Amino acid sequence: PSVVRLSDNDSSVRVYFSCGQPSHMAGFTSNASGTEFGGGEILIEQAIDAEIHRLSDGSYRVFHTVMNPDDHPDIRPFKPQEIKTAVSADGLVWESQGTIADVDSVASSLGESITVLADPSAVLLEDGSWRIYFGNATEHSDGGGIYSFVWRP
């Protein structure tokens, strides 16, 4: 899961995680103490491995992979092939900004054999760009590693 604080004035949080079949990104919002949660809702369909950031202006950015095996019928078992991003004013309604990386573009830019883009995690850099870290392995793989690239909005 990914957790963000909702207020600087209390302990309220929103917890985001992948759930369902097929997987989607869902969000659950807590009370002011951060200990009790109301019902959750699907926020982005097919989004998995989501990491959400609350930005300095109070808006949100998510980085996630996509559970879209129908778009890749030759990959069985399915492994994530793209990293996408979306933005939100409230952390509930998301506007997709599309694909920021796919296995082919990342493999080409890194000069590496990349077959999966798993579990993206991002750090905002001083110049406003993001360093995106991801895994290139699955639990069924004995290879892979941790890689990164810089993305500029």
What is the maximal distance between C-alpha atoms in the chain? Answer: 50
> What integer pLDDT is reported at residue 39 of this predicted model?
78
How confident is the chain (153 residues) per 10-residue block, as mean pLDDT?
88 88 86 90 90 94 89 78 95 95 92 88 97 78 79 95
> What integer pLDDT is reported at residue 11 of this predicted model?
92
Cα separations in angstroms, 18 against 64, 70, 92, 119, 143: 10, 18, 15, 11, 25
> What integer pLDDT is reported at residue 143 of this predicted model?
61
> What integer pLDDT is reported at residue 138 of this predicted model?
53
